[in-house]
Amino acid sequence: MLLALAVLSAAALSAAALAGRAEAQDVGGALAQLATNKYDDTEAALSVLALSGDPAAVGIVSALAEGRLVFGGTPPRVFIQGEGGALLDPLTRQPVADAPAVKPVRVNNRVRRAIEAASGALSLVSPDPAKRLEAAQAVGRSRDVAALPALDAVLAKETDPKVKSALALARASIVIGQAGVSEADRIAAIEVVGAQGNQDALALLRSVPADASPAVKDAAAAAIAGIERNLALWGAAQNVWYGLSLGSVLLLAAIGLAITFGVMGVINMAHGEMVMLGAYTTFVVQELIRTHNPGLFDWSLIIAIPLAFLFTGLIGVIIERTVIRFLYGRALETLLATWGISLILQQAIRTLFGPTNREVGAPSWMSGSFEIGQLSITYGRLWIIVFALLVFVALLAVLRLTRIGLEMRAVTQNRRMAASMGIRTNWVDAMTFGLGSGIAGMAGVALSQIDNVSPNLGQSYIIDSFLVVVFGGVGNLWGTLVGAMSLGVANKLLEPYAGAVLGKIALLVIVILFIQKRPRGLFALKGRSIEA
Amino acid sequence: MSDTETLVRDIEPDDGLGAAKKTLTEALLYLNAVTVTFDGFRALNELSFTVDPGEMRAIIGPNGAGKTTMMDVITGKTRPDKGDVFFNGGTTDLTRLDETEIATLGIGRKFQKPTVFESHTVLDNLRLALKGQRSALPNIFRRETAAERECIDAIFETIRLTEHRDRLGGALSHGQKQWLEIGMLLAQDPKLLLVDEPVAGMTDAETAQTAELLREINANGHSVVVVEHDMTFVRDLGVRVMCLHEGSVLAEGTLDQVSANERVIEVYLGR
Amino acid sequence: MSTSETRPPALLTTSGLVFLGVLGAAVVLVPALNLLTAPDSALHVPTYVVSLLGKYLTYALLALSVDLIWGYVGILSLGHGAFFALGGYAMGMYLMRQIGPRGVYGDPVLPDFMVFLNWKELPWFWYGFDLFPFAALMVLLAPGILALVFGWFAFRSRVTGVYLSIITQAMTFALLLAFFRNDMGFGGNNGLTDFKDILGFNIQADGTRVVLFVLSAVALGLGYVLCRFLVRSHFGKVLVAIRDAETRVRFTGYRAENYKLVAFVVSAMLAGIAGALYVPQVGIINPSEFSPANSIEIIVWVAVGGRGTLVGAALGAVLVNYAKTYFTSGLLAPYWLFMLGGLFVAVTLFLPKGIVGTFYDWRARRRASDDIPGAEPAAAPKPAE
């Protein structure tokens, strides 16, 4: 904002300069004027410097601002006072051999404003294109008519295409709402702004004066309609992105469940608590890193992932060996027993860590965001999607390529046959449960980044995860993937219309109805062997 | 009488189609070109056959020949991809009905694995199966009539379980469960009984008794279709035999004719 | 049992008679000890205890309703709390309308929370709740219709086992979210509370509390007799047959889905009555009653007492809730969830038939060994699925 003000006043200044008040036409002349140490001359010199675009001008203006611009000698010359008081030539920046006695060039409030203006304008002509771009955008946002002549001046000289289009846009933004502009000029401006296609452009287009000609109004209306379509598309894309992000969270939470349910037919109600334990593992890892080796903080998640996998996997194996193996073939009893386990685990964490949320930090590579078109993409969400897909692929690989994966698939398809082929189904069950729980733990590491780490963390995911598994079809990982992503996207696409809570309710109802229609899910196994 | 077009004309009454009509309208059960596919696997492949009223038919065939799928299709558990299944002389299209409706029409089924109501007494098992009111609400206030009691007593005599009437279904031996299930079928008083491997796991004596039992049931006017691997048992039945292979009929005739068939020997009986 | 072919099993078994006897004794003793003894007497039962016991009885009725479908039909509903809560809300709406102008804002018609939300008129679905008969009808209809619609869809599509459990859980979760919303018009987060009187009687008065207790006991007793009547009828035998071999039932010619639906709706209505009796005794109904955790807890009551025994369900509800009251009010409060969780695990592992079921087994074995004829065969459910 400050920059915009500065650019504006500089533009006004240079407009005045162009009108003929300036006596000096180049940087040399401006230096001579500065040496007179008169406010008027200083101001005039600043306006020349502002438009010069000379790299040296930037140094001179900033030296003046910092009180390091001095003058002295006969005839008076201007120097820049360097480090340790050495006098430097303002153009070459070389020390001056015969340094005269010097005084700083005087500055009053008027000059100070002129300095600000000049440094703003200089950024419009700065050699750095990034700075020019920023200055052009600032002018565009300010929409002050006074900046027009300056813009026209730099527009003619500008070569960088990006900066040039920013300047053109800035100019169009100003022209569009200004009185006394020719119809052609205004329509051209509307086109430039319309091509922008964002919210700002929409506001600009709506500011077309009421007394503008019908042609102008039509052009504006067309441009507005185009932008609104465009924005709706981007908005949908953004929602799809949020949906994929939510879907990957659901995928992480549900995929372990899909394995235990698919292979063992076991509903593990404590699955959410495995996620919660994974999140707390992350918390403990970060605490240890903070106290022992803060430099490793950016690695904390990478360290936590295998630890969470091993820890929750171990807990899973313990649960399977001590409780679940006695309940095979009794799915509903297993459901109740694991619910009991979930209560115990929650209370254990509550006792150990307290009932309140625990702070889990984000490493630097997870924070921040970038934009694609009108899409805003945060690194945190991006990494979670990547992580979810990696886990998915890794799991597929385990199931397809390893011995234990082969045995798991065998047990899924025909437990008795697998047992009679010499597969130790007990061991497969324990490993499956451990694997499912371990994946839940890894999901917990990811979820610690986007959700509150509290003893109740798991509960908020358990119902959603079940719906994903049931929706996708049991015993089919691809079904889980599709189920998670479609539920995530559907949720986020419903939200703008129904609100977060109603959207969620609507989704629950849809899934309930869907299960009625296809009781075995999206990718159900078919055939004679599937009995009710 | 093998293509669908003829069939469609046949089921219209009084169309005067003479001989062709006779076959369909006289058949109790009529299957024509029935095909069922599971994930690309053809469980039934253009299967056609008929069962006459009062007939008993044995079906043999190797595992995967489609015997159970055929029963699933007849009883409405599986819908055929294409083909016709008619009951009662072509009056009823079974492919449009579900299990319950088909059961009510008079088709009873005994499963391969004996399925009785294990936490009910043998008596209650028969009471539940007994032909009569099937709607939910009237059954809250239903009382057993004397006629029903007599009917159950008669079935107990037939299936030789009278002294076990108060035991739980789950407490019976394997063979007793098979008989109870047949008894439940009788209680339903169906026109057609589909019996899937009734003597699996039975002793020789029990097997012979079961054959006698089924013959008795058949003699009382019920049509019976028996799927069985036990050749001795099939011989005991002494009825027309049909061999299924890869979802269609391989051979049909007396047991001797079928066992002499080259293809049957090759795919099923072995040399 | 050898003559049972002419005589159906007795409506009331020994344990049923004991159960009704205990209830009857409670109906006489508790009010007497509350109203007729001096407050400082050692025998005096304070009013809060009367209401606490009344609350246990409504839980027992709720457990009974769950046992009817879980124990006898094999439907494990993880959303039965929703029917309880709906019955409770119907009663709560009546009680809210009875407050009249005595609310904080003094609006003659609108409940306080509506005034607070700046609503100008009563939403249509609140009409009629000022009349007790209408509200009482809604106590039955609201849960009944939900169960009818939900069950019709679910049973017709043959959603069974854990799938059914999960969608019942999703159902109550959806309702939980819905009732949390202020826009729904049911008081949002805070629910309905600050009740003043019921049918003109002060809801805080000792006499009213005692009557509510008695009503809860009577409702439980009648509910038990109704369930017994159902399960010993031909209808009930079909239900058990469905639990054990649903496919066989279909092939026998019964419409299994209709039987399930009737049982489910009856069960939901019983749960609704329990909720309606619960609300005036605890003085509040809020969306947390819809939480899935609550519904699962009901299952453990039934499992502890003994699934498929009816008496056991009621006993389990009272025992577990007594334990909950005892432990959550003392020093052991932080450990209650450990105990509840442990209870879930222990019952499923070591006492799969529950207290009453195990007792029946023991009694049947003893009779068998004593060779006493007429041992009642325990209607022991198979392990689920």
- 10-residue mean pLDDT profile of chain A (532 residues): values are 52 46 62 82 80 75 84 83 80 80 84 77 75 77 69 78 82 75 79 78 76 79 85 87 90 88 81 94 93 87 94 95 87 88 93 89 84 82 92 91 86 81 86 92 91 87 84 81 91 83 82 76 52 34
Show Cβ contacts of residue C59 under 8 Å, excluding neighbours closer than 6 positions: C274, C278, C298, C301, C317, C318, C321
Q: Which of B206, B38, A181, B190 is nearest to C251 (CA)?
A: B190
**Residues of chain C found within 8 Å of residue B184, distances taken between Cβ atoms:** 252
- Both B113 and B170 in one domain: the answer is yes
Q: What is the pLDDT of residue A118?
A: 76
pLDDT surpassing 60 at residue B71: yes
Which comes out higher in pLDDT, residue C86 or A84? Answer: C86
Q: Is the pLDDT of residue C261 over 80?
A: yes
C-alpha–C-alpha distance, residues C248 and B108, integer Å: 10
C261 contacts in chain B (CB < 8 Å): 136
> Does a structural domain hold residue A433?
yes
- Residue among C170, C344, C385 whose CB faces A331 most closely: C385
The answer to the question of residue A298 being in a domain is yes
Q: What is the pLDDT of residues B179-212, one digit of tens each?
A: 899 899 889 989 999 999 888 888 888 888 889 8
C187 within domain boundaries: yes
Residues B71, B165: one domain? no
Alpha helix (H) residue ranges in B27-121: 67-74, 99-105
Residue A231 tokens read as 């924005």
Amino acid making up residue A370:
F
Q: Does A528 touch chain B (CB under 8 A)?
A: yes
Give chain C's domain count: 1
Considering CB atoms only, which of A337, A340, A513 is closest to C153?
A513
Per-residue pLDDT averaged across B65-74, rounded?
89
Contact criterion met (CB < 8 Å) for C241 and B120 = yes
Q: Is C376 domain-assigned?
A: no
Number of domains in chain A: 2
Whether B72 and chain A come into contact, CB under 8 Å, resolves to: yes
Indicate whether B220 and B247 sit together in one domain.
Answer: no
In a domain, A193, yes or no: no
Closest CA to C273 of C125, C76, C61: C61
Of residues A249, A310, A267, the one with CA closest to residue A464: A249
Containing structural domain, residue C263: 21-297
Asked whether residue C312 is assigned to any structural domain, the reply reads: no
- Note whether C153 contacts A347, CB cutoff 8 Å: no
Residues B116, B224: one domain?
A: yes
The Cα of C124 is separated from the nearest Cα of chain A by a number of Å equal to 20
Task: Identify all chain C residues contacting B109, using CB atoms and an 8 Å cutoff.
Answer: 251
Would you say residue A290 lies in a domain? yes
Burial C179-191 (b: 16+ CB within 10 A, else e): bbbeebbbbbeeb
Query: Has residue A17 been placed in a domain?
Result: yes
Q: Say how many domains are in chain B.
A: 2
- Mean pLDDT within B215-226: 90
Q: What is the DSSP string of A174-197?
A: HHHT-TT--HHHHHHHHHHHHTT-
Same domain, B166 and B200: yes
What is the tens place of the pLDDT at every residue in B25-61? 788 999 999 999 887 788 899 999 899 999 999 998 8
pLDDT of residue C26: 94
pLDDT for the residue A7: 54
What are the residues of chain B with a beta carbon less than 8 Å away from any beta carbon of chain C?
Answer: 75, 77, 98-100, 103-104, 108-109, 111, 115-121, 123-124, 127-129, 133-137, 139-142, 144, 149, 152, 165-166, 168, 184, 188
Percentage with pLDDT > 70 across chain C = 94
User: Hey, of C160, C349, C350, C351, which one would you mutate to test binding to chain A, going by the most A CBs within 10 A of its CB?
Assistant: C349
Burial C271-285 (b: 16+ CB within 10 A, else e): bbbbbbbbbbbeebb
From A95, A125, A155, give the residue that closes a domain: A125
| Residues in a beta bridge with A71 | A78, A103
| CATH of residue B188 | 3.40.50.300
Query: What is the domain extent for residue B11?
Result: 1-105+239-271
Q: What is the pLDDT of residue C68?
A: 97
How many whole angstroms from its chain centre is CA C260? Answer: 18
User: Shortest CA distance to A505 belongs to which of A523, A483, A521, A490?
Assistant: A490
Q: B143 by DSSP, 3-state: which? A: coil
How far apart CA C83 and CA C81 sit, in angstroms, is 5
pLDDT of residue C7: 57
Contacts of C349 in chain A (CB under 8 A): 323, 326-327, 337
In a domain, A167, yes or no: no
Are the C-beta atoms of residues A137 and A170 closer than 8 Å to each other?
A: yes
Do B90 and B144 belong together in one domain? no
Per-residue model confidence (pLDDT) at position A20: 39
- C-alpha B28 chain-centroid distance: 12
- Looking at the fold, whether B35 and B143 belong to one and the same domain comes out as no
Cβ-contact B251, B66 below 8 angstroms: no
Concatenated DSSP letters of A42-110: HHHHHHHHHHH--HHHHHHHHHHHTT-EEEETTTTEEEEE-GGG-EE-TTT-PBPSS---EEEPP--HH
Q: Please, what is the average pLDDT of chain C?
A: 90
Residues B127, B69: one domain?
no
Tell me the three state secondary structure of residue C283.
Answer: coil
Domain end point (choices A73, A106, A125): A125
Check whether residue A391 and residue A257 sit in a common domain: yes
Structure-model confidence comparison of residues C5 and A65, the more confident one: A65
The yes-or-no verdict on residue C379 having pLDDT over 50 is: no
pLDDT in tens, C352-370: 999 999 999 999 888 888 7
Are B99 and B127 part of one and the same domain?
no
Query: What's the mean pLDDT in C112-123?
Result: 90
Q: Name all chains with 3 or more CB-CB pairs below 8 Å to chain C.
A: A, B
User: What rounded mean pLDDT belongs to chain B?
Assistant: 85
Instruction: State whether residue B69 sits within 8 Å of chain A by CB.
Output: yes
Confidence of residue C384 (pLDDT cuts 50, 70, 90): very low
Q: Which residues in chain C touch residue A341, judged by CB atoms under 8 angstroms apart?
A: 341, 344-345
Check if C1 contacts B (Cβ < 8 Å). yes
DSSP C110: S
Residues A238 and A120 placed together within one structural domain of the fold: no
pLDDT at C224: 97
Give residue-wise pLDDT tens across range C295-315: 999 999 999 999 999 999 999
- Range with lowest mean pLDDT among A332-336, B140-144, C87-91: A332-336
Look at A168 and B168; give whichever has higher pLDDT.
B168
pLDDT category at C236 given cuts 50, 70, 90 is very high
**Residues of chain C neighbouring B152 (CB-CB closer than 8 A):** 5
* 8 Å CB contact of C344 and A467: no
CATH of the domain at A319: 1.10.3470
Q: What is d(CA C377, CA B171) in angstroms, rounded to the nearest whole number?
A: 12
Shortest Cα distance from C246 to chain A (angstroms)?
9
Kindly determine whether residue A527 and residue B69, on different chains, have CB atoms separated by under 8 Å.
Answer: no
User: Is C372 inside any structural domain?
Assistant: no
Residue finishing a domain among A125, A146, A171: A125
On the question of pLDDT at C19 being above 90, the answer is: yes
Amino acid, single-letter form, for residue A333: E
Mean pLDDT across B129-145: 91
Residue span of the structural domain in which A270 resides = 234-517
Asked whether residue A214 is assigned to any structural domain, the reply reads no
Domain shared by B260 and B152, yes or no = no
How far away is chain A from the Cα of B150, in angstroms, using its nearest Cα?
35
Separation between Cα atoms, residue C155 and residue B182, nearest integer Å? 28
Of A176, A184, A166, A183, which Cα lies nearest the Cα of A224?
A176
Residue bearing tokens 């000379």: A54
DSSP assignments along C9-25, one per residue: PPSS-HHHHHHHHHHHH
Nearest of B60, B19, B31, B45 to residue B241 by alpha carbon: B60
Domain membership of residue C229 (yes or no) is yes
Report the candidate in A117, A122, A71, A121 with the shortest Cα–Cα distance to residue A96: A71
Residue C292 lies in a domain: yes
Q: Average pLDDT for residues B251-258, to the nearest whole number? A: 88
Residues B111 and B224 in one domain: yes
Q: Would C9 be classed as within a structural domain?
A: no
d(CA A152, CA A146): 11
Report residue C2's pLDDT band, with 50, 70 and 90 as the boundaries.
Answer: very low
**C-beta atoms of A347 and C341 within 8 A:** yes
C112: in domain:
yes
Residues B91 and B177 in one domain: no
CB-based contact, A527 to chain B, within 8 Å: yes
Decide: C56 and C318 in contact? Cβ < 8 Å.
Answer: yes
